[in-house]
Amino acid sequence: MTSTEESSFVLPSNPSDSYNASDNDEMDSLPSSSDTESTISGDEDNSDAEKEWHESLQQIELLLTIMVVPYIGKYFGRKAAYWGWGKFMEWKFPVEVTIADPGAFKAAGIVGAASAL
């Protein structure tokens, strides 16, 4: 190797061009322990809140899938079945299907839908 190639790998001898460790120590220092503890506890609070949020969403989903959706499906399924049967009877036979008391019909549908739950 020549002397110019060797000098390119050598750090400059001028102190102003060299690495100043005292300036970079301030930037590279870690935060104090009280800041770290508050950040960790804040993260734990957020994660606890997120866990509780996800648990409450699971409880709502469970309530909907076990109680509300089957009840609504059964109620509207019965209404659709009665409507369809009435339309079939009017088409097949010369009869007119009417509901004498709509309030009682709705109450019977609600009671019938809730009877198996």
Nearest by Cα to 80 from 109, 49, 115, 46? 109
Model confidence pLDDT, tens digit, residues 35-44: 555 555 666 7
Nearest by Cα to 73 from 103, 43, 117, 29? 117
Q: Is the pTM of this model over 0.85?
A: no
Q: Could you tell me the CA-to-CA distances from 115 to 4, 57, 78, 87 in Å, in that order?
A: 97, 28, 13, 26
Cβ neighbours of residue 79 under 8 Å, at least 6 residues apart?
109
pLDDT surpasses 90 at 54: yes
pLDDT of residue 57: 94
